[in-house]
Amino acid sequence: MKIIGTGSALPEHIVTNEMLAGFLDTSDNWITTRTGIRTRRLLSTETLRELALEAARKAITSSGLRPEDIDYLICSNVANSYVSPSLGSIILGQLGCSCPTFDMNGACAGLVYSLDVADAFLKAKNMKNILVVAAEQPSRFCNWHDRATSVLFGDGAAALVVTQGEGFKDFRLTGNTHTEVMYYKREMQRTPYDRVEEKTEPLVMNGREVFRLAVESCIDDVDTLLERNGMTGDDIDLYLLHQANMRIIECIREHLAQPKEKFPTNIQKYGNTSSASVGILIDELSRAGELKEGQTVMLSTFGGGFVTAAAILEWSDINYAK
């Protein structure tokens, strides 16, 4: 499987750390030194559906395909205002596609989870082209009086078109039950028969524990993929990691003893956009010509669950002029 099209879309509204310090007991210095985040984009006048559509349209255009050439749409999304229908169903018709679709909740690892499923579909189901969209609004999970969580997230969407061909070499996905370290419980309707009180809560997070799990599990995924493919850290040209915290990225980089240039980031601008983060990074780098033909790329992502998903691929150039 290889990537033949990319796209991304971000809300227009830019929120700086200083703006947050206007109503939260926080500071630009605290946020930048602990996380690397300087600004984030938050949905204001647009909807997540519009971002998902924009990213998907850009990805299809750059692939050179027509919407009717897409055989499947997998949409990575943790939650949005619609529980049903799926976000994939909502955007499908507006894209001009009429293929099957479903939403995947692989938390912040959802894009690479979706790519793993797409790879399996391409192999097993004789399909040609799959559109993977990751669209997330984690800012809407947070309690905006809680400085420990609300400063970390941003909203955004990314999309990739994948097709049969040489590119992805290997995936590693893991799962684990650690509900207590990070969860968001939204409201459901009650029936007359409910006897269990389920408290709804905005995002609850044990930041230190998530940090520890993230570093430990990403290192395990990257080391396992390198070893399984007879490679060392030096054989990877670019490490595209989930953009959750600059210090997490730095810990993984130090473990691998690799130069900073191999770890491009955009967390400074966008914060943690959940499963969209690594897709936005891929789209920006590819359009800027910083992802080059033949480069070996490591993707490594993690999220609530606790889940992780990593992959090794060889990059093929995309012609955005078409």
Residues known to be catalytic: 108, 242, 272
Q: What single-letter DSSP state applies at residue 190? A: P
Q: Which helix (H) or strand (E) holds 171?
A: strand 168-175
**CA–CA gap between residue 10 and residue 269 (Å, rounded):** 11
Binding-residue pattern over the window 176 to 205 for ligand COA, x denoting contact by CB under 6 A: -----------------------------x
Exactly one of 80, 114, 139, 272 binds ligand COA (CB under 6 A); that residue is 272
Shortest spacing between CB 316 and ligand COA, in angstroms:
29
Q: Give the footprint of ligand COA on residues 103-122 (CB under 6 A).
A: 108
Tell me, what amino acid is at 104?
M
Shortest spacing between CB 183 and ligand COA, in angstroms:
12
First and final C-alpha spacing in the chain: 22
**CA–CA gap between residue 210 and residue 221 (Å, rounded):** 16
Shortest spacing between CB 230 and ligand COA, in angstroms:
30
Exactly one of 190, 195, 199, 208 binds ligand COA (CB under 6 A); that residue is 208
Q: Residue 307 interacts with ligand COA (CB under 6 A)?
A: no
Q: Residue 273 interacts with ligand COA (CB under 6 A)?
A: no
Q: For residues 122 and 244, which CB has a smaller minimum distance to ligand COA in the complex?
A: 244
State residue 37 phi and psi, 5-degree precision: -80, 130
Q: Residue 19 interacts with ligand COA (CB under 6 A)?
A: no
Residue among 166, 191, 194 nearest 315 (CA)? 166
**CA–CA gap between residue 237 and residue 310 (Å, rounded):** 15
CA 75 and chain centroid, separation = 11
In this chain, which stretch among 8-16, 62-70, 147-155, 158-166 interacts with ligand COA, using CB under 6 A? 147-155
In the complex, residue closest to ligand COA by CB: 207
Residue written as token pair 């997490």 = 248
3-state helix, strand, coil in the chain (%, to 5): 40, 25, 35
Exactly one of 151, 160, 161, 280 binds ligand COA (CB under 6 A); that residue is 151
In this chain, which stretch among 38-46, 98-106, 145-153, 284-292 interacts with ligand COA, using CB under 6 A? 145-153
Q: What single-letter DSSP state applies at residue 275? A: G
Q: Are 77 and 87 in contact (CB under 8 A)?
A: yes
Exactly one of 2, 30, 262, 295 binds ligand COA (CB under 6 A); that residue is 30
Residues 6+ apart with CB under 8 A from 265: 36, 243, 246, 249, 281
Please return the burial class of 22, using the count of CB atoms within 10 Å of its CB with bins 0-12, 13-18 and 19+. exposed
Exactly one of 6, 8, 35, 101 binds ligand COA (CB under 6 A); that residue is 35
Shortest spacing between CB 207 and ligand COA, in angstroms:
3
Q: Residue 231 interacts with ligand COA (CB under 6 A)?
A: no
Binding site for ligand COA (CB under 6 A): 26, 30-31, 34-35, 108, 147-148, 151-152, 205, 207-208, 210-211, 244-245, 272, 303
